[in-house]
Structure 1
Amino acid sequence: MTLLWIAFAVLLLPALWLLVLPLRQARKLHDRQQDFEANDTSAEQNVAIFERRLTSLEAARERGDIDDARFEEDRLELERSLLEDTQNLKRRPLKKYTSGRFVVPLVMVSVVAVSVVWYQFQGAEGDLMLLETRREVQADPDASLAMYIERMETQAERQPDNPNVWSELFPLYRETGQVEKAANTLERLIDIEGRVAPLLAQLAQLRFFMAERELTSEVQALVDETLEQDPRQPTVLGLLGVHAFDRGEYETAIDRWRRALANIEEEETASSLREGIRVAQRRMGVEPEQADTEQAQGPGIRVDVSLDKSLADTVPDDATVFITARDMEGELPPLAVVRAQVSALPMTVVLDETNAMSPQASLSQVQQTRLIVRVSRSGQATPQPGDLFGDLDGVTVGPVEEDEAVEVVVDRVFE
């Protein structure tokens, strides 16, 4: 933090120098102005102009060009003009060049004070303290996870309203088995950030496992609140899949986990869900390798997905593949989504109601669909420049036949 304040001081120095600059030039400007006023001949020039015009006016009267009444009128106008010009040239006496100097130090102090106060409210001093704490622990030869947690708890006392402190503490408590502290930390984070779906989902999951995988009234309330905000929230869908699996409702568990897979970006979590799906399929007496291609529920589509050979070397094997079915008009959410990896290509998948992301949008609602296959290097669900894709329009939705499949080749680059 000392370096930060030194940097602020260095940045303020040019501003303070600019404020002092007028003081350094005040005497020189005062002398120039005084000299100008002392040698100003504007009044004499105006009088000379007046006299020349008056002489011309008298000569015109003598020639008979104007009468006495016109002469008096024009002379009065000249006198009035001279008077006005002379009055405009009157100046107030110059003040001393030292007058008003006290204002500059006040402005300088105000600039520094306002800058400091503004940073206190709008800056990220608290986050810099967290970074400094992390570095201190990493540099300590006796560093340990317990020491890091202790330092972060100290920061939480100093910065009770900084959400980043609680975001740092929550996984630390969870990983060290301090689940009650983890739950309290998450609740504090929700108080600060608001009741947003991702945080509510994490709290629901934590309370679910704390209750020994029971869907208590508290957990159910959190689940309902989360799904009301985001029906595709993967953490909650994964939790509901676990609950269904424990009760022997394997088809429901598979449905929940598949819907969660369509929205998960972390490969480790996705692998766990895929393993859970395979276990549930074995419990149902279905061979896992046949489950995706033979166990269609309701109307669907069998899809052969492959990657163009010319693009095969441009993406890693662990890049994510999104296989999506959408309505032809593009007005509904995705009707079905399957997630895989490039290493699995070429592959055959069946899209049906089990792959639906919500009950309100599934393949049973349409007769034709558009298939889109996208390869994402980042694993993000939102298309990014550089992603690979292939699509096929007007695919008929109906009973899934084992020997009938449509082919989609990933052969283009998303710009």
Structure 2
Amino acid sequence: MIDFWLAAGLLLLVALSFLLIPVVRGRRAQSEEDRTALNVALYQERLAELQTQQQEGVLSAAQMDSGRAEAARELLADTEGGEAERVSKLGKPLPVLAAVLVPVLALALYLHFGAVDKVELTREFAQPPGSLAQMTNRLERAVKAQPDSAESIYFLARTYMAQDRPADAAAMFERAVALAGRQPELLGQWAQALYFAGNKAWTPQIQALADEALKLDAKEVTSLGLMGINAFEGQHYQAAMDYWKRLLAVLPANDPSRSALEGGIARASDKLVQSGGTPVEAPLATAQQARLRVRVSLSAALSGNVQPSDTVFIFARAVSGPPAPLAVKRVTVADLPVDVELTDADAMMPQLKLSNFPEVQLVARVSRAGQPTSGEWIGRSQPLPSNVTARQALTIDSPDQ
């Protein structure tokens, strides 16, 4: 921030110079006028002395004329080269008062309407966080600076969950739902946060949120896992197995949670047999992986407005879903134009995959600060099916609002 305030200070000095230079000039003009007035007073005093001497008979008329002429020559010599008479500004307080008020008012207005907090936050996001606590602090400040940003609120909620702060996470998920709409993924994660915040006590609110999420999307992974847990705790082992098998079918083959999920299904099967029941086996469905190919280029009109080292984020997000990106690739302006492929393997979170959403939008954002949620320039595609096979063209050509 030091370079920012130095630049602001220099601009302020330039502004003050326009106010203070006339004051300095006014003082010079006043000095010149004071010297001229003194010379005139001395001339008048000399004439008075000559008239007194003539009246006393000391000077003749000829000597009087000669003395008057000599005094006039001295006056002309003293005032020779002087500037024309000007009206002095000295003594008028307006310029000095303005010079004092300009920086005070400028600072007050900037602190009220400016974005010094966002400037500082953008600088911090350009550097990787040193710890989870530091990341949480940055996200909290980002939410405070942009309270209507569903993306920032969503990421803060996820961070709270990672810090075992489910009550705070539930409050953030609720805000995200209010901003982004009742998307199934948000509803499922809100329900999960409420479940852990309530010490794993199942409530009608949690049931309603999970039911709504699965009604909107039968493959919503958080709700499937949560409903399976509730069914297992309620000794409804067949229902728990069904929910978890549905979840297993949509997880990537290399997802680390698959082994724990398979172990849970096996335990539920054993419990069902011990209680005298017979497990109903159902084949696990194989989820079809989405694969989007896109060529990203930069508009020629923007070539002079970006730097080769500026970061470019290329991602897909759900048209009807959470604000978080589903798959992300990162390149630089120097790499453009570039061909990239977005797949389920590029998912930021296992439960948010391209194949789980029927319709997506492609986005490419130039961010000088390296911040994926905001930047300087952006390009967006029209909504398209997540299983489209044709290569898409995406041009970065608009200011990022």
TM-score class, shorter: 0.3 to 0.5
TM (norm. structure 2) is: 0.39
**Which protein, 1 or 2, shows the higher relative CO under an 8 Å CA cutoff with sep ≥ 6?**
2
